[in-house]
Structure 1
Amino acid sequence: MHFAIIFRILGILLMLFSLTHLIPLGVSLAYDDGVHLAFISSFCLTFVIGLIVWSPVYKARDDLRTRDGFLITALFWLVLGTFGSMPFILDEHLKLSVTDAVFESISGLTTTGGTVITGLDDLPKSILFYRQQLQWLGGIGIIVIAVAILPMLGIGGMQLYRAETPGPIKDSKLTPRITETAKWLFFIYAILTAACAIAYRLAGMTWFDAISHSFSTVAIGGFSTHDASMGYFQNPTIWMICCFFMFISGLNFGLHFLAWRKWQLKQYIADSEAKFYFFYILMACLIVVPILVFSDVGKHYDHPIVEGIFQVVSMATTTGFATTDFSAWPTFLPFMLIYLSFIGGCAGSTGGGVKVIRIALMLKMSLRELQQLVHPKAVIPVKLKRKPVDSVVLSAVWSFIGVYLVTYIALVLALQATGMDHVSANSATIAMINNLGPALGTVSANYGHVEESAKWIMCLGMLLGRLEIFTLLVLFTPAFWRR
């Protein structure tokens, strides 16, 4: 393990992260909301500590190994979650405890979107903007962004990219050089964000709300500048714009790159994961919308069809925006919407969950097992894009899903041990591990009243979900630390 290189990278990344505090500082000064000292203090403290970590090892040079990448990725999300909480702690308007501040920071960076804060409409603009910015940075993955910068500093980035990028197939690159890959990912991410902000503004949002919500929409985060979330606007046009950008942000960003480079939409049509993604969201809409429209609840809505589609897309992509209190919807709909987050977005997207590609492969493997019960001697390959999938990938998929479910059960039991009821513990775990945000039961509104021990458990769940379980759990295996 190259600890000198690891500390050098952490120091550099902390100093880079400190610079992001200057943007909300500018917002604070522009709106004169009195929070500028909190951002100045957090910027200085983060930068100085990063400098202290970096200085003793700034001359260290060596190639990163895969194990180094896993450790840096896990450590950085932990460190970032801690330092990202400082503006929340220092702001006198919020009066958050350390636990609540860290929860809010990790929820933002992991694009979970669960919050402990109420009264968002009355908060300073700079704090609201900072929350949205955390989600935007977490969406693309600050590690992936740094991959484009680290080579200039003499640090290779492939191991970081492999540790951070979600999905069962991690070695495919859009361009021959990993630096170029990261740059193009960031470029596409930024273009989608800008397009989303402009669309929101044209639909009636203020520039502040448009930019803020574009951050959390493309990041599939779910933070809003209003307590009522997207329901604040009561504008079907805004809701459908949000649906569109949530949906495309849940697709593999590699497909966006290929479609943009070749100016062809067939990249989406030919991709089996994208087709499955579209199909399962369509099926969910066909179930949810009719039940909502013909229910007593739906009769009170001016646009029940739009609200039904919006909530399906929001939950299926693990964004977590809401136009209304969906926990009050009839029959099984609230639970169905929560369970949709298990599938989540596509590999290589900003979405959470197990990922569409894994679910698709799991279904194909299950179908193969059923066929082999009838034809035990038949050789039936599992195919993806008409090509047989390597058995190593299939084994990894089953392993991931198995560990995912065990982790889910363990977190539910841990939350119940803190005194949380079953519905709340179950839905909160789903919301955390899938980076969804909203839940049911006593935590349907927010997480502010939850026991502190439960909040730390949920922070762990958010990190496990963001790092796709294995990236964090591998650190606790003896084999990882053996030479």
Structure 2
Amino acid sequence: MQFRSITRIVGLLLALFSVTMLIPALVALIYRDGAGFPFMVTFFLLLAGGSSLWFPNRYQKHELKARDGFLIVVLFWGVIGSAGAVPFLLSKNPDLSVADSFFESFSALTTTGATVIVGLDHLPKAILFYRQLLQWFGGMGIIVLAVAILPVLGIGGMQLYRAETPGPVKDSKMTPRIAETAKTLWYIYLALTIACALAFWLAGMSGFDAISHSFSTIAIGGFSTHDASIGYFNSPTINIITVCFLLISACNFSLHFAAFGNGNINLKTYWRDPEFRAFFVVQFILFAICFGMLLKHHSYDSAFDAFDQALFQTVSISTTAGFTTTGFSDWPLFLPVLLLFSSFIGGCAGSTGGGMKVIRMLLLSLQGVRELKRLVHPRAVYTIKLGHKALPQRVVDAVWGFFSAYALVFVVCMLALIATGIDELTAFSAVAATLNNLGPGLGEVAVHFGQVNDSAKWILIIAMLFGRLEVFTLLVLFTPTFWRN
């Protein structure tokens, strides 16, 4: 294990992260809200801390191995999540405790979107923008951005990319060089963010709200600048824009590159992808069920309102964004529970969505069908195909392993929450909301997590990290094999 090289890289990344503090400081200057001081202090603290880690180890440029990459990813998310809490600790508005500050920071960076803050409409613009900015960086993964920079400094990046990129198949690259891959991902990400911000602005949002919500929409984060979330705007046009960009962001970014990245637009690329088709089939079924149930229970005055709310909440919850336009927890109980379970599926692999990913659920269902066939024909040999390609058994085994680990982490976190005194419904939905990087839950966490006790908040922070790092990246550090030479 190259500990000095790892320390050097983490220090360098921490110093780079400090620069992001200048952006909300500039926002504070523009709006003159007096909230810039915590960000300037944090900038100098992080720059000094990162430099102190980097400078003594600046000549340690050894080749990274796979396990070095995993350790850097986990350390970086832990360090940056902690560093991101400093402005909340120093700020007087909102006045947050240590647990609340760390919770808000990790929730933003992991794009969970669960908040402990009440009274967003009265917060300084700099604080509001900072929350959205954290989500935007966390959406694509700060590590992927760093991978585009580190090769220039003589550090190979493929190990980091494999550890960070979601999905069961991590060896494929869109371009031959990992630096070009990471840059391409961010070009797509930035283009979608600009398009989303323009659409929101044309639909009636202020410039500040349009930019802020485009950050959390493309990141599939769910933070808003208002307590009422997207419902604050009371606009079907804004709702449908949000739905469209959430669906785009929940698709594999490799598909976006394949369809638009070569100069020739080829929309057939999307439909050829089995995960893409499965994703939209799931979305359609969920919407049809929600729309039908809302009509049956006369939850809204008109069919149009029911259509609008059903479409928005279905896409928002199932893609793990967590935006709200209404108290979906007040719907007939079947629907919020259904949508909460749909967040376990989440978005596609290679997207900014959370959950276990559509591709894994698709492979699990194909494996189930294969086992049913084997019951009828025990001696027959069946292969699992994705599209027209037969998958190696190791991929199927890895998916089953991931599913088992995911379930184990969920159960342990839920039992730990119950042990802190939280009721069963709240504990179940809180773990589902954080592990799936969703945001809102049911019970006491239907609106915010401010009432949750501090011990439970630390447990939920761990659940956020497990969800963002897709369980294995974090679990592998607890195995003796990882630390053996």
TM-score in terms of structure 1 length:
0.99
1:217 to 2:250 alignment? no
Contact 1:293 1:299 in 2 (8 A): no
**1:344 equivalent among 338, 343, 346:** 346
Cα deviation, 1:165-212, whole Å, max 9, x if unaligned, reads: 010000100000000000000000000000000000000000000000
Q: Deviations over 1:203-252 (max 9, x none)?
A: 00000000000000000000000000000000000000000000010000
Structure 2 partner of 1:77 = 77
Question: Given the alignment, which residue of 334, 337, 349 partners 1:335?
Answer: 337
Asked whether 1:197 is paired with 2:197, we answer yes
Report what 2:95 is aligned to. 95
Amino acid at match of 1:439: G
Please give the alpha-carbon distance, in whole angstroms, between the structure 2 residues aligned to 1:96 and 1:72: 29
1:145 aligned onto 2:171: no
Give the whole-Å Cα distance in 2 for the aligned partners of 1:120 and 1:471: 34
Aligned residues: 483
- Structure 1 residue 290: deviation in Å? 1.3
Partner of 2:27: 27
Q: How far apart are 1:302 and its partner, in Å? A: 6.7
What is the letter of the counterpart of residue 199 of structure 1? Answer: A
- Does residue 249 of structure 2 align to residue 239 of structure 1? no
Give how far 1:297 is off: 2.3
Question: CA deviation digits over 1:350-405, x for unaligned, max 9?
Answer: 00000000000000000000011001011111000111110000000000001111
1:299 Cα deviation from its structure 2 partner: 3.1
Q: Partner amino acid for 1:62?
A: H
Does the 8 A contact of 2:444 with 2:451 survive in 1?
no
Residue matched to 1:184: 184
- Which of 294, 300, 319 in structure 1 is aligned with 2:296? 294
2:301 match: secondary structure: helix
* Paired position in structure 1 for 2:256: 256
What is the distance in 1 between the residues matched to 2:238 and 2:156? 42
* Aligned twin of 1:416: 418
Paired with 1:45 and 1:98, the residues of 2 have a C-alpha distance of 17
Question: Where do residues 3-402 of structure 1 align in structure 2 (5 Å cutoff)?
Answer: 3-260=3-260, 261=262, 262-299=264-301, 303-402=305-404
Q: CA deviation at 1:301?
A: 8.7
Change (3 A) 1:286 1:300: closer
How far, CA to CA, are the matches of 1:8 and 1:356 in structure 2?
36
Q: CA deviation at 1:154?
A: 1.0
1:450 alignment partner, SS class: coil
- Residue type of the alignment partner of 1:264: N
Q: Which amino acid aligns with 1:394?
A: V
Instruction: Specify every segment of 5 or more residues in structure 2 that has no aligned partner in the other structure, as ranges.
Output: none
Residues in 2 aligned to 1:151 and 1:117: alpha-carbon distance in whole angstroms: 39
Structure 1, residues 290-318: CA drift from partner, whole Å, max 9, x if none? 11123232238971211100000001110
Give the Cα separation in 1 of the matches to 2:256 and 2:304: 35
Measure, in 1, the Cα distance between the counterparts of 2:416 and 2:457. 11
> What is the identity, as a one-letter code, of the residue corresponding to 1:263?
I
Q: CA 1:386 to 1:333, structure 2 compared with 1: closer, same or farther past 3 Å?
A: same
Amino acid at match of 1:461: A
Deviation string 1:430-456 (CA, Å, 9 cap, x unpaired) is 001000000000111111111100000
Rounded Cα–Cα distance in structure 2 between residues aligned with 1:242 and 1:56: 47
| One-letter identity of the residue aligned with 1:69 | G
DSSP-derived class of the 1:82 partner: helix
SS in 2 for 1:60: coil
The CA distance in 2 between the partners of 1:293 and 1:193, in whole Å, is: 34
Indicate the residue corresponding to 1:439 in structure 2: 441
Which deviates more, 453-462 or 84-93? 84-93
Residue of structure 2 equivalent to 1:466: 468
Contact 1:438-1:444 within 8 A present in 2 as well: yes
d(CA) in 1 for partners of 2:153, 2:330:
53
Partner SS for 2:412: helix
CA gap 1:2/1:239 in 2 versus in 1, 3 angstroms: same
Report the secondary structure of 1:68's partner residue. helix
What is the Cα-based RMSD across aligned positions, in Å?
0.9
Per-residue CA deviations over 1:268-307 (Å, capped at 9, x if unaligned) read 0100000000100011001111111232322389712111
CA contact (8 A) 1:268 1:274 kept: yes
Q: 2 CA distance for matches of 1:358 and 1:352?
A: 12
Letter matched to residue 193 of structure 2: T
What CA distance in whole angstroms lies between the structure 2 residues aligned with 1:301 and 1:420?
Answer: 38
Runs of 4+ in 1 over 6 A off after TM superposition: none
Identity of aligned residues (%): 56
Cα contact 1:150–1:157 (8 A) shared by 2: yes
